[in-house]
Structure 1
Amino acid sequence: MPHSADTPPPSGGLDAAPRRVALLDRDGTINLDTGYLADPDRFELLPGAVAGLRRLVDAGFGLVVVTNQSGIARGLIRPDALAAIHQRMRAMLAAHGITIDAIEICPHGPDDGCDCRKPLAGMVTRAAARLGFDPGRAILFGDKPSDIGLARAVGAMAVLIGDTTAAAACHPAPDLAAPDLDQAVRLALARLQPSPAG
C-alpha cells in the first residue's frame, strides 16, 4: 500500500482556497480503538466525534486524518480492508454533512525507517504539499504521545483526547486536553478567539 493518502483530494477543496486544517488521529480520537482494526463492520464512531468534526467544518476547517497503521506491515490488516474501513468512515460522516479532505496513512512498522510514522512529520508534510495548507496554523487532535509529538514536529497546536491522568502523563505535554473530540474542539476554537478588549 502506498504510504500517502488513500484517495485523491476532492475537486474544489483545499486547493481552491487554502484554509486552516485540523489534523486528526483516527483510532481513539474519531473511532473506538480496538487494536489493529481490520473489519469495517467493527468501525464505531466515538461519542463526541461527529459533533466535534461538525464544529470544525462549521468553523471553516479542512479535515485531514493522519493515522499509523502498522497492522499492514505486521500482516494483521489487509490493504483492501483498510480501504473499506475508510470508506465506511467517510460514509458514516457524510451522513452528517462531514467530508474528510484527505486520509494519510503510515503502513510501516516501528523499525522500517520510514519518515511518516508518528511522531515523524511525513504524513503532514505530504498532505500540506498536496492540499496547500500551513501545518503551523493547524490544530492536531490525538490520543497518544506520538500524536502530540507530531504536532510539535510540524508546529501545530496539540490537543490530547483523554482523561486528566493521560494528559498529566503525556510527554511532550499537549497545549490542551479534553475527554472527547467535541470538548477538545470547543477548547481549541476558544483558544483561537481573540481576547476581548479591555
Structure 2
Amino acid sequence: MPAKLVILDRDGVINQDSDDYIKSLDEFLPYPQAIEAIARLSQAGWTVAVATNQSGIARGYFEVDTLEAMHAKMQELVNAAGGKIDHVAYCPHGPEDGCSCRKPLPGLLEDIRDDLGLDTLEGSWMVGDSLRDLQAGDAAGCQSALVRTGKGRRTLEKHPELTIDSKVRLFDDLADFADWLLE
C-alpha cells in the first residue's frame, strides 16, 4: 500500500527564503498559511516530514544548534495549530562535499522512508520550490508538487517546461496544495 506521506522542503515552502540563507531564529519566518496547511494535512491522517538542504552549516553561517532551534520553533507552531511533523531530515553538507543526502539526490527522502519504517515512497508527495526538490522526489519515486512561494516563481521562469510536465503539479503555496490534496 502506498505511503500516505507528504515530504516538504523547508525554506520557501514552510518559511520565507533568503538568498543569504536563514541563519538565525529571528530570520526563520514561517508562512502562517503553511503552518495551518501542515496541521490540516496531519489532522487528515497524512504523515508530514521535512527534507531540507542546510549547507549554511558547512559554510559556517550557523551551527547545528541554531538549526535545531529553528526546527523546534517550527514543530511548536505546527503543534499549536493542532498538527504534527513526524520527521525532519536535513543535509548539513555543501555542494562540493560529495554526500548522498543533498538534494537533488534522494538520500534525505530515503532516510525519511527508513526512519518512518516505510517500504516505499510510492504514492508519497514531495513538495518544493526548486528543481532540485522535484528531482529528489522523482529519484525517490514520489509524486512532485512545485509551490510558487520562495524560489518557486524563479524556478518556473528558468524551467518553463515544468508548466507542461504532467508529472509536476503546480500550486500557489502549501495551503493551495493541502486544499487540493484534501479535496
Partner of 1:14: none
Map 1:145-184 onto structure 2 (within 5 A): 145-162=131-148, 166-167=155-156, 169-170=158-159, 173=165, 175-184=168-177
Q: List per-residue Cα deviations over 1:115-161 (Å, max 9, x = no partner).
A: 00001011111111121232112111110000010111011110001
- 2:147 partner letter: I
Q: Give me the whole-angstrom Cα distance separating, in 1, the residues matched to 2:72 and 2:35.
A: 16
- 2:88 matches 1:125: no
Match for residue 139 of structure 1 among 121, 125, 138? 125
Q: 1:89 Cα shift?
A: 1.0
Greater shift, 132-141 or 172-181, is seen at 172-181
Partner of 2:7: 23
TM-score by length of 1: 0.80
Q: Give me the whole-angstrom Cα distance separating, in 2, the residues matched to 1:102 and 1:166.
A: 26
Q: Give me the whole-angstrom Cα distance separating, in 1, the residues matched to 2:23 and 2:154.
A: 29
Partner of 2:98: 113
Uncovered stretches (5+) of structure 1, i.e. residues with no partner: 1-17, 191-198
Q: Give me the whole-angstrom Cα distance separating, in 2, the residues matched to 1:86 and 1:189.
A: 25
Uncovered stretches (5+) of structure 2, i.e. residues with no partner: none
- 2:122 partner letter: G
Map 1:1-198 onto structure 2 (within 5 A): 19-34=3-18, 35-133=20-118, 134-162=120-148, 166-167=155-156, 169-170=158-159, 173=165, 175-190=168-183
Verify the 8 A CA contact 2:43 2:83 in the aligned structure 1. Answer: no
Greater shift, 163-172 or 122-131, is seen at 163-172
| Alignment RMSD | 2.0
Specify the SS of the correspondent of 1:186: helix
Q: Give me the whole-angstrom Cα distance separating, in 2, the residues matched to 1:158 and 1:189.
A: 16
Verify the 8 A CA contact 1:139 1:157 in the aligned structure 2. Answer: yes
Bigger radius of gyration, 1 or 2?
Answer: 1
Verify the 8 A CA contact 1:23 1:63 in the aligned structure 2. Answer: yes
Specify the SS of the correspondent of 1:48: helix
In 2 relative to 1, CA 120–165 (structure 1 residues): closer, same or farther, beyond 3 Å?
closer
Q: List per-residue Cα deviations over 1:31-68 (Å, max 9, x = no partner).
A: 01133212112221114202321231132111110000
